[in-house]
């Protein structure tokens, strides 16, 4: 019995001296390092290098062309009544004057977004003006009407600023335009200033519905101010 115990102890010491772990005895728990096993079985996939600020740079409103077309209409009516002396009857009679003024405009143009939101381009516009005056009252002597029409063609540079980014559903904008105007049939030329603003609604990517208002001032008509409502389509070619 003593000889057997000495041999077993000697075998254990010999195994430790040779760097070997002793075999587990029956009933002992077997501990496995799960971290080591997981690290061995895990395959690390290489990742592509990240590009800083790539989505923000691509979404900016710059570096592409935009074409646009729109139409506008203005209607105004003025009516007043005054008294005129009728030489035939020797009495004052009430005479009513009615003035109806309409403007129809169709324009188109193109330009380039030179930096984020800043648009520089040009516009060609076709404008038709109509003025109808009617006078009634006081007998047939004062009943008459008159019509005047004129066609204008304007061309000039446009500068605008658009808010938002390429993915925005609604882009507010303001614009300024200075045009050279040619009138027909008179053939006279003049200058015209347009200041306006509105909203561009992207119905689908790159295509939008533009709604806006223009303040129109023709240089030679110092006492006349026109406010024109516009609707059109704009296509951003990015």
What would the DSSP string read from start to end of 32-82?
--HHHHHHHH--PPP-PPP-TTHHHHHTSS-SSEEEEEEEEEEEEEEEEEE
Residue 167 domain-assigned? yes
In a domain, 98, yes or no: yes
**Sole residue written with tokens 């003049």:** 190
> Is the residue at 190 inside a domain?
yes
Nearest to 134 by CA among 169, 172, 95: 95
CATH code, 233: 2.40.160.20
pLDDT at 63: 94
- In which domain, by residue range, is 141 found? 56-237
Q: Does residue 152 sit within a domain?
A: yes
Burial class (CB in 10 A: 0-12, 13-18, 19+), 206: middle
pLDDT in tens, 93-138: 888 888 898 989 999 999 999 999 999 999 999 999 898 988 887 6
- Per-residue model confidence (pLDDT) at position 190: 87
- Structural domain includes residue 159: yes
Instruction: Please tell me the total count of domains within the chain.
Output: 1
Decide if 208 is inside a domain.
yes
Element of type H or E holding 12: helix 2-17
Position with higher pLDDT, 51 vs 76: 76
């Amino acid at each position: 019995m003593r000889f057997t115990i000495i041999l077993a102890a000697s075998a254990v010491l010999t195994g430790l001296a040779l760097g070997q772990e002793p075999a587990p005895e029956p009933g002992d728990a077997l501990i496995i390092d799960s971290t080591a096993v997981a690290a061995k079985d895990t395959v690390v996939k290489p990742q592509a290098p990240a590009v800083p600020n790539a989505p923000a740079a691509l979404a900016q409103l710059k570096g592409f062309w935009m074409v646009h077309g729109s139409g506008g209409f203005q209607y105004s009516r003025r009516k007043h009544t005054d008294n005129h002396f009728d030489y035939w009857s020797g009495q004052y009679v009430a005479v009513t004057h009615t003035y109806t003024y309409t403007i129809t405009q169709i324009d188109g143009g193109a330009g380039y977004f030179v930096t984020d939101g800043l648009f520089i381009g040009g516009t060609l516009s076709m404008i038709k003006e109509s003025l109808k005056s009617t006078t009634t009252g006081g007998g047939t002597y004062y009943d008459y009407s008159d019509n005047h029409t004129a066609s204008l063609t304007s061309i000039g540079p446009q500068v605008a600023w658009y808010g938002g980014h390429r993915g925005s559903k609604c882009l507010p904008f303001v614009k300024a335009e200075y045009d050279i105007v040619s009138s027909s049939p008179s053939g006279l030329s003049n200058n015209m200033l347009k200041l306006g603003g509105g909203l561009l609604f992207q119905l689908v990517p790159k295509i939008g519905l533009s709604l806006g208002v223009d303040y129109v001032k023709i240089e030679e008509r110092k006492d006349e101010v026109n406010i024109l409502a516009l609707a059109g389509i704009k296509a951003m070619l990015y």
